[in-house]
Chains A and B, each alone.
Chain A
Amino acid sequence: MKQLCSLMLLCLFVPQLAFANSKYNLRPGVTDISENVYQLHMTIFIICCVIGVIVFSVMFWALLRHRKSKGATAATFHESTKVEILWTAIPFLILIGMAVPATKTLIAMEDTSKADVTIKITGSQWKWHYEYMGHDLGFYSLLATPQGQIKNAEAKGENYLLEVDKPLVIPTGKKVRFLMTSDDVIHSWWVPDFAVKKDANPGFINEAWTKVNEAGIYRGQCAELCGQDHGFMPVVVEAKSPEEFDTWLAEQKQAMLDQADADAALLDQTLSHEELMSTGEQVYMTRCVACHQPTGLGVPGVFPAIKGSPIATGEIKDHIDIVVQGKPGTAMQAFVSQLTIKELASVVTYQRNAFGNDTGDTVQPSAIQAFIDGEEQ
């Protein structure tokens, strides 16, 4: 028995040396919880292995020794209440042994109280929005991998499909609470290194928390099938020391003010058609392309075409309306909160002139702002 115990202990640590942080196994991660989860995973795994080895040794022994070709004749026994009770009771005891540490870890995971920072995470098709509660700061986080890499036209980068334009930033050593919700379908926010995976359900909020021990960049993905681009909405979290986090927070707030100023300045300007077209193409190729396709043809029956569409070739106001407000109950989102007015103006201009739409229209940021202000009634 003692030998068995030491063997199990050995097994517990050897795989850790061999497999930790490898691509073969769960990651111990960077939080106390994820470390606990990892240990639990290894313990259960080893127990299963031991049971498997014992049971199948017996079976293979029988297969080797009790073969007809070796002249084995069959015994006649076919029941034994004693044995039956024994092999019902022993697994039961093993299960109790597993349940105890599992329960402890679970209770610790579900305790979301006394958080230092609260972040509201909203999933939408197919991006994440992060809002720092009580700080008046929020932003979208989108896949940053270029379409060329996905379509195999360019070499794939190191963090292919696991990179975003703007990662979530959190402080290390502080309890961070996440509130999850969704804009449309169910998503699931997952960072393996934190052992946090929680569904974002439309109309409801869910809670999870983490306390990251080491600064660094941690990557995960959406884990619940959420439609076409489910595979293309990664999660990237940057953990910074509390001081750096505070600096970052201040910078972000300043940047938001600057953006507001820039928007205000734009209202008096008239941008050139060419400038709007080139910005518009960039925006289109990152924000619109997943559904409406690089050709502007959409996906028949699923996502409408831009090319020759009645909206993109009809009234400018209707076009601005659908881009700004979205279309409820479809994947077409309200981009007013996701893009600047310059980007909105550019993408509308682009869609009205690309793909052979050739309306010749130029939509200025001021027109967008006017629409938002509701002056165009």
Chain B
Amino acid sequence: MSTAAATHEHHGPATGIKRWLFTTNHKDIGTLYLLFSLLMFLTGGAMAMVIRAELFQPGLQLVDPHFFNQMTTVHGLIMVFGAVMPAFTGLANWMIPMMIGAPDMALPRMNNWSFWILPFAFAILLMSLFMDGGGPAFGWTFYAPLSTTYSNDNTALFVFAIHIMGASSIMGAINVIVTIVNLRAPGMKWMKLPLFVWTWLITAFLLIAVMPVLAGAVTMVLTDKYFGTDFFNAAGGGDPVMFQHIFWFFGHPEVYIMILPAFGIISTIVPTFSRKKLFGYSSMVYATASIALLSFVVWAHHMFTTGMPLAGELFFMYSTMLISVPTGVKVFNWVATMWRGSISFEAPMMFAIAFIVLFTLGGFSGLMLAITPVDFQYHDTYFVVAHFHYVLVTGAVFSIMAAAYYWLPKWTGHMYSTTLAKWHFWMSLISVNVLFFPMHFVGLAGMPRRIPDYALQFADFNAIISIGGFAFGLSQLLFVAVVFKCIKAGEKAPAKVWDGAEGLEWQVASPAPYHTFETPPEVK
């Protein structure tokens, strides 16, 4: 965003398009990531609108089932790899150097590279939708053999796109780790790190542990489909269920990649607006680490119905249930932080509170899903859809919105319209629940996911869900308005925007100068 005020520095940004193409500045790259993720959020959202429009009434009205499957698939891929993950990387780029008192990210040229390959990945993915045969239609989980033997020839494009996205994430993660390990200001000890930095550090380790596994999985899909290997083909001695094991070995840690930075954001915002230190800082760090470790031993809870031996089902049920302990600790800590605080309700805080309640709701349905015998009933129904949208939309996405409202004045130097922001909040809060809450009911009543048409008993709820969906989609346009109005103009923001805020980022001017902490600050 605008850093024109930074010209007093010894060298400012280049001008025009070159500034953005060749930038190695963490703030510019952070901005690029954030704007790109907003664009992807709207693109993926538009696909969700197509899905909800088709499901508004029983029968096939707007799209054919093949296109519907492409929509569900690409919606998932874009939201995961295009919206949530780049948004967190953008926040990391902007905030981590400022939070730890570093002048920039440790590897600035790689930073430029890791962003600029992303638009190509998504261009490839989106273009495949317009080719003969269409884009990927096998779900974002691309289970073999639907994605190998039975997919169309454009699958190579999907594989290539995923490879680029993975490379981008890995480079981003490496950069974050090197920055945090090597560039902390003097006195910034490990247990003094802001929680957002801690959660991102752990996330970055998760990323370099599992993104290569995803790359391996898509490579196997590629060679199975085009080069005659038989990794997932039973005829050649392979096993299609093995695909699911490999995929979910990536996939479950991936879920935590999308929520751990959110925990960090909430742990930053709640103390600010409670005007009280975060309760149980060290237990928060340990809880985050244990969630990350546990995420490697729970993957098969996504595949209880594939036919596992009893012992396997029991192991994965118990380990999954165990994750609710550290997650519970986090929620309790946030509540304890608010307890006897001096609470005020600015937009970031409202999103943070909504996050705590609604993410926990998603956590409860997650616990229910962990119970294997009942999971047989929930599996692959709208109950699962409700669950992961509660943790990812009212969880991850709400935390990103909270973060945006929290740091936007720092980025732009302007205060945004708080009235519009509150409208955005309330409209989002109401519509998101109209959208996702009834999904629990249709799921329990027996509606499978990923179907373009449904039996009549699900019709009422689906109509309500679709209305909620359209309302939620429209509400996000308000967010776009708030952001762009704030970039252009607004009341001048002080260095310390929020009176209860703590951390190095509030010691620099708003907007943050193009270069900050070129001489490291002393942390006491």
Contacts and interface: CB of A to CB of B under 8 A. Distances in A.
Interface of A: 22-27, 36-37, 40-41, 44-45, 48, 51-52, 55-56, 58-59, 62-63, 66-69, 72-80, 83-84, 87-88, 91-92, 95, 98-99, 102-103, 105-107, 109-110, 125, 149-152, 156, 158-162, 180, 184-186, 188, 190, 192, 195-199, 201-204, 206-207, 220-232, 299-302, 329-331
A180 B332 CA distance: 45
Nearest to A229: B65
Interface string B360-396: 1100100110011110110111000000000000000
A231 B133 contact: no
A88 B376 contact: no
B150 A204 contact: no
10 contacts: A58-B335, A58-B339, A66-B343, A67-B342, A88-B328, A98-B367, A184-B145, A227-B146, A231-B452, A300-B133
Contacts of A24: 441, 444-445
B136 to A, nearest CB: 12
B307 A62 contact: no
A309 B6 CA distance: 67
B325 A203 contact: no
Contacts, number: 299
Nearest to A226: B146
Interface stretch (B86-94, B272-280, B425-433, B509-517): B272-280
Interface in B348-368: 353, 356-357, 360-361, 364, 367-368
Chain B interface residue number, banded: 35 or more
B341 A185 contact: no
B381 A223 contact: yes
A184 B64 CA distance: 22
B275 A74 contact: yes
B448 to A, nearest CB: 5
B485 interface: no
B240 A186 contact: yes
Nearest to B438: A24
A206 to B, nearest CB: 4
Interface stretch (B26-34, B44-52, B163-171, B315-323): B315-323
B241 interface: yes
B306 A199 contact: yes
Contacts of A26: 374, 377, 444-445
B145 A202 contact: yes
Contacts of B275: 68, 74
Contacts of A331: 150
Interface of B: 58-61, 64-66, 69, 131-134, 137-139, 143, 145-146, 149-150, 152-154, 234-235, 239-241, 274-283, 305-307, 310, 313-314, 317-318, 321-322, 324-325, 328-329, 331-332, 335-344, 353, 356-357, 360-361, 364, 367-368, 371-374, 376-377, 379-381, 441-442, 444-446, 448-458, 461
A197 B69 contact: no
A62 B65 contact: no
Contact of A37 (B277, B338, B344, B376): B376
A54 to B, nearest CB: 10
B376 A52 contact: no
A25 B445 contact: yes
A40 B371 contact: yes
B313 A110 contact: yes
A188 B361 CA distance: 28
Which of the listed residues A36, A56, A91, A159 has the most CB atoms from chain B within 10 Å of its own CB? Answer: A91
B150 A330 contact: yes
B374 A329 contact: no
Given A87-B329, A92-B325, A225-B69, A106 B341 contact: no
Contacts of B153: 301
Contacts of B338: 59, 62-63, 66
A184 B461 CA distance: 33
Contact of B305 (A63, A66, A87, A223): A223
Given A195-B377, A201-B307, A231-B448, A103 B314 contact: yes
B453 to A, nearest CB: 5
A72 B139 contact: no
